[in-house]
A and B are shown apart, each in its own frame.
Chain A
Amino acid sequence: MRASRPTSRTGRLMVSPAVLMLFVWMIVPLAMTVYFSTQYYNLLYPGKTSFVGLENFAYFFTYPSFFTSVINTLLLVGSVLAITVVFGVLISVLVDAPFPGQGIVRMLLISPFFIMPTVSALVWKNLLMNPVSGFFAWLSVSLGMTPVNWFSDWPLLSIILIVAWEWLPFAILIFITSLQSMNQEQKDAAQMDGANAFAVFRYLTLPHLARPIAVVVMVESIFLLNIFAEIFTTTSGGPGDATTNLPFLIFTQALLEFDVGAASAGGLVAVVLANIVAYFLIRLIGKSLTEA
């Protein structure tokens, strides 16, 4: 349908508040971040602002924790994506066929998605992973093993487990919905022709799930690149910088050391990193989102 002139004016009028708000929300802070990143600017010494060129970037790039934090960020995003997609697919296929209590099982499975990050972080840290009186410690002792001191021996893994638990339900929710739209007759026909369960999974189910998997990867990446509350409430980035990801490193620069210049430089690095990821993701599935 071709839009005539008055319609397109109405359309623009309706769209503009949202576009304007988002544009300001994006461009003003971003411009300020770019400006601050070239300044020596510490909130503790407000009078001593001066232009330093790229020094903040040099400082940030050579900062010992910087490299670690980038690696931690990528490890966190990558592992959680892998865990949630693999287990998400397996669990969704498992609960797809009708059985007694299927509705309740689904409700239980997606529940963690609705728990706020600060709660899930603290519940896991204190009630489950505490090395002395946590539930896991009791499990280990009952099985005759030594309890694991999660947050000091496996700090990043601990964070990964918590975040994966939070996001597994999202993957399950999406995959379950997608599986419902699968052609049952095709599956039955394949089984009649002698295809075993694995072949059906490999050649029918997986291809059907390709697009939902892409969607899950994209949506989760957006949120996982920004993981903050779980780290803030459990390890504060430690021990050392073992669980410091990029968001947390910038947070310590800005709000703990008040170094606005360095924090802004770091912020821009985070923006660039996110955009590299976004670029590939949008190319990967952006098209399938606007079609259909």
Chain B
Amino acid sequence: MSKLKQRRRTFDTLRAIASWLVALIVFFPILWMVLTSFKTELGAFAMPPEFFFKPTLENYREIMDRSDYMHFAWNSLLTSGGSTLLGMLVAVPAAYGFAFHPTLRTRGTLMWMLSTKMLPGVGVLVPIYLIARNLGLLDSRILLVVIFALINLPIMVWMIYTYFRDIPRDILEAARMDGATTLQEIRRVLLPVSRGGLASTALLSLILSWNEAFWSLNLTTTNAAPLSALVASFASPEGLFWAKLSAVSTLACAPILVLGWGSQKQLVRGLTFGAVK
């Protein structure tokens, strides 16, 4: 018996070691990026690579000094924040309608919404580009706010819908009996109950918009370009400054990474439309 236990313990230890090893391999590119951001440009190129080095904040200082970083960060913040706000304003009522006033067409409409996500961006890039150009909206933050809101809307509606669907109807009906109007019903009863779900929906929208690159790369140049476009500009030959690229990348990813870590449990629900719990 104790021999079996012994073997079991060895197995568990091996398993823990393997888990840690796999996790470190998967995480390594990010770790390496952060490490490189604290090296000198010369050190970033060094062969063999420097594992132990005197960290410098030089790259961060230089990135911040070139005042344009703040400009791009501000754009990222405004566009992802704005689109999340706009998306929530439209998605919450829609999810409410789907969840509490279902009709025969509800299921079909929900599936149709999801199917608009299947419409490839490239399929409609040309018209959107031309419309934006004719309206004088190319390279404007408003355009990105609207587009990000639209591309995330189906996921947001689905996500909030799956939260609303699980709320017992009695609560709402009780409020309605007491003479609450629809708006009061939503504001006083529904929103407080589903605060957590709404927060994680907003968070997911924020993450997706912050990281979006296709539309930002194609519809902005400098004025409205967010961080993902700034990082892409380091792809050009003149951008062969690995330490600085790493510093910019670290600055661009850190806030979203932290948000993601904090919300991993709730994200699953949103990302799978409640199909996996």
Measured CB to CB, the residues of A under 8 A from B are 1, 3, 7-8, 10-15, 17-19, 21-22, 25-26, 28-30, 32-33, 36, 91, 94-95, 97, 99-102, 104-124, 126-128, 132-133, 135, 137-138, 142, 165, 168-170, 173-174, 177-178, 181, 211-212, 215, 219, 222, 225-226, 228-229, 232-234, 246-247, 250-251, 254-255, 260, 263-264, 266-268, 270-271, 274-275, 277-278, 282, 285-286, 288-290, 292
Instruction: State which of A118, A120, A226, A229 has its C-beta within 8 Å of the C-beta of B29.
Output: A120
Report the interface size for chain B: residues with CB under 8 A from the other chain: 99
A148 vs B32: C-alpha distance when bound (angstroms): 19
Asked if residues A14 and B211 are in contact (CB atoms below 8 Å), the reply is no
Q: How many A-B residue pairs have CB under 8 A?
A: 321
Asked if residues B232 and A118 are in contact (CB atoms below 8 Å), the reply is yes
| Nearest-Cβ distance from residue A120 to partner chain B, whole angstroms | 7
A228-B214, A263-B126 known; A133 and B45 CB under 8 Å? yes
| Nearest-Cβ distance from residue B206 to partner chain A, whole angstroms | 11
- Residues of B close to A99: CB separation below 8 A: 12, 15-16, 19
Asked if residues B97 and A15 are in contact (CB atoms below 8 Å), the reply is yes
Interface readout for B83-100 with A: 1 if CB under 8 Å, 0 if not? 000000011011011101
Asked if residues A108 and B111 are in contact (CB atoms below 8 Å), the reply is no
Measured CB to CB, the residues of B under 8 A from A are 12, 15-16, 18-20, 22-24, 26-27, 29-30, 32-33, 36, 44-49, 90-91, 93-94, 96-98, 100-103, 107, 109-111, 113-131, 150, 153-154, 157, 169, 182, 207, 210-211, 213-214, 217-218, 227-229, 231-232, 234-235, 240, 242, 245-246, 249, 252-253, 256-257, 259-261, 264-265, 267-268, 271-277
**15 more CB-based (< 8 A) A-B contacts, given A14-B182, A28-B127, A29-B128:** A30-B127, A33-B124, A102-B19, A107-B261, A110-B260, A114-B207, A119-B228, A127-B36, A211-B275, A219-B271, A228-B213, A229-B228, A229-B232, A247-B214, A282-B114
- Residues of A close to B32: CB separation below 8 A: 123, 127-128, 135
A254 vs B125: C-alpha distance when bound (angstroms): 8
A254 vs B260: C-alpha distance when bound (angstroms): 35
State the main secondary structure of chain A at its contact with B: helix
| Nearest-Cβ distance from residue B169 to partner chain A, whole angstroms | 7
Asked if residues A226 and B231 are in contact (CB atoms below 8 Å), the reply is no
Asked if residues B101 and A122 are in contact (CB atoms below 8 Å), the reply is no
Instruction: State which of A3, A11, A111, A268 has its C-beta within 8 Å of the C-beta of B257.
Output: A111
| Nearest-Cβ distance from residue A187 to partner chain B, whole angstroms | 15
Asked if residues B120 and A226 are in contact (CB atoms below 8 Å), the reply is yes
Instruction: State which of A108, A211, A267, A278 has its C-beta within 8 Å of the C-beta of B124.
Output: A267
A232 vs B121: C-alpha distance when bound (angstroms): 15
Asked if residues B125 and A12 are in contact (CB atoms below 8 Å), the reply is no
| Nearest-Cβ distance from residue B126 to partner chain A, whole angstroms | 5
Asked if residues B101 and A29 are in contact (CB atoms below 8 Å), the reply is no
State the main secondary structure of chain B at its contact with A: helix
Asked if residues B19 and A105 are in contact (CB atoms below 8 Å), the reply is yes
A27 vs B123: C-alpha distance when bound (angstroms): 12
- Residues of A close to B124: CB separation below 8 A: 29-30, 33, 267
Asked if residues A114 and B256 are in contact (CB atoms below 8 Å), the reply is yes
- Residues of B close to A270: CB separation below 8 A: 120, 122-123
Asked if residues B264 and A110 are in contact (CB atoms below 8 Å), the reply is yes
Asked if residues B121 and A226 are in contact (CB atoms below 8 Å), the reply is yes
A22 vs B116: C-alpha distance when bound (angstroms): 8
A144 vs B23: C-alpha distance when bound (angstroms): 26
